Structure 1
Amino acid sequence: MACLATLMVGAYPVVTAAATPEPALAVMAQGQANGQSYTRAALLALAQRRTVTLAVDPEHIGPQVDAVPLAAVMGSGAMPDALRLGASDGFVAELPVSTLTTAADYGVRPWIAIEDPARPWRSPQGEDLGPFVLVWVGANAGRIGQEQWVDRLVSVQGETAPVARWPGLGLPAAVPRSDPAWRGQALFLSNCMPCHRLNGNGMGDKGPDLGQPVNAVRYLTPAGFHALVRNPRAVRHWDGARMEGFPPAVLSDTDIDAIHAYLARLDTGATLRQGKPRE
Structure 2
Amino acid sequence: MRLIIGLMFLLYAHLAPAATLTVETESGSRRLSTEQLLARPDVREIQVPGDVSYHAAMRYRAVPLKALLDGVPDDAHLQFVALDGFTAEIPASLILDGHGAEAWLAIEPTGETWPKLGEGKPSAGPFYLVWLHPEAGHVGPEQWPYQVAAIKVLADPAARFPAMRPDARLPADAPARRGFAIFQRNCISCHTLNGQGDAKLGPDLNIPHSPTEYLRGDMLRTLVRNPQDLRRWPQAKMPGFDTKVLSDADLDDLVAYLKHMAGRKVSP
User: TM-score w.r.t. structure 1 length?
Assistant: 0.81
Among candidates 191, 197, 200, match of residue 195 of structure 2: 200
Q: 2 CA distance for matches of 1:192 and 1:93?
A: 9
Q: 2:147 matched to 1:152?
A: yes
Check if 1:260 corresponds to 2:255: yes
2:41 aligned partner? 47
Instruction: Please list, as runs of the form range in 1=range in 2, the aligned pairs for 1:186-197 lying within 5 A after superposition.
Output: 186-197=181-192
Q: Kindly name which structure, 1 or 2, has the bigger radius of gyration based on alpha carbons.
A: 1
What amino acid does structure 1 have at the position aligned with 2:193? L
Aligned CA RMSD, in angstroms, stands at 2.3
Answer yes or no: is 1:114 the counterpart of 2:107: yes
Unaligned runs of 5+ in 1: 1-19, 271-279
Q: Is the 8 A contact 1:200 1:209 kept in 2?
A: yes
Query: After superposition, where does 1:93-132 map in structure 2 within 5 Å?
Result: 93-97=88-92, 99-100=94-95, 104-105=98-99, 107-116=100-109, 117-128=111-122, 129-132=124-127
Question: What displacement does 1:115 show?
Answer: 1.5
**Count of aligned positions:** 247
TM-score normalized by structure 2? 0.84
| Structure 1 segments (4+ residues) deviating >3 Å | 97-101
Q: 1:244 to 1:39 in 2, by over 3 A?
A: same
2:81 pairs, out of 78, 86, 89, with 86
Q: 1:240 to 1:124 in 2, by over 3 A?
A: closer
The answer for unaligned runs of 5 or more in structure 2 is 1-15
Aligned to 1:68: 63
Superposed CA deviations along residues 161-213 of structure 1, whole A, max 9, x for unmatched, are 11111111112221111212222111101110000011111111211111010
SS at match of 2:262: coil
Post-superposition Cα deviations, 1:82-106, rounded to whole Å, max 9, x if no partner, equal: 11101111111111346547x813x
Contact 2:66 2:95 (8 Å CA) reproduced: no
Q: Give me the whole-angstrom Cα distance separating, in 2, the residues matched to 1:115 and 1:51.
A: 12
How many angstroms apart in 2 are the aligned matches of 1:168 and 1:99? 26
